[in-house]
């Protein structure tokens, strides 16, 4: 069982059982997951959740997702406010900055990055001109 939480502004969403398939600009994005939704007494739902979904609906339609598709895959969404409690325990917030960075950046990663830059320099240069 996988757990998905999605940050949309300050709203956290959790889908119960869902299978989503969206086609945007010719690309198909699919997801089939069983997702537990936990309840938290720390935060309570408010009207902003429905407002957020309505705002996202107009953005999805503008991106080429049909209204019926959006409605079908968002009708059972509920806020998962337990995620908010967990935010402060993420390493970028709970570890001193230099310790956090030293865990992310080391000589091996820098060397690999330089190697990939050299390998793909032509493509990157062309992309930066667009």
73 and 111 housed in the same domain: no
Average pLDDT per 10 consecutive residues for the chain, totaling 130 residues: 35 35 42 42 62 93 95 91 84 86 87 96 92
100 and 53 housed in the same domain: no
26 and 1 housed in the same domain: yes
What CA–CA distance (Å, rounded) separates 16 from 67?
20
Quick one: pLDDT at residue 124?
Answer: 95
How many folded domains does the chain comprise?
2
66 and 119 housed in the same domain: no
CA torsion, ordered 32, 36, 39, 45, to nearest 10 deg: 10
81 and 108 housed in the same domain: no
What CA–CA distance (Å, rounded) separates 32 from 16?
11
75 and 107 housed in the same domain: no
What is the domain extent for residue 110? 95-130
Of 71, 86, 73, nearest in space to 12 by CA: 86
15 and 63 housed in the same domain: yes
77 and 130 housed in the same domain: no
Quick one: pLDDT at residue 23?
Answer: 39
82 and 106 housed in the same domain: no
83 and 110 housed in the same domain: no
104 and 63 housed in the same domain: no
């Amino acid at each position: 069982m996988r757990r998905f939480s999605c940050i949309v502004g300050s709203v956290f969403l959790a889908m119960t059982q869902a299978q989503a398939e969206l086609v945007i600009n010719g690309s198909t994005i699919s997801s089939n997951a069983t997702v537990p939704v936990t309840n938290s007494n720390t935060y309570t739902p408010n009207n902003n959740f429905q407002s957020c979904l309505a705002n996202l609906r107009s953005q999805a339609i503008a991106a080429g997702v049909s209204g019926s598709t959006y409605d079908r895959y968002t009708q059972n969404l509920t806020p998962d406010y337990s995620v908010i409690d967990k935010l402060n325990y993420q390493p970028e917030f709970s570890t001193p900055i230099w310790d956090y960075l030293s865990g992310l950046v080391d000589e091996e990663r820098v060397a690999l990055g330089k190697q990939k830059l050299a390998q793909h320099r032509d493509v990157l240069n062309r992309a930066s001109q667009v």
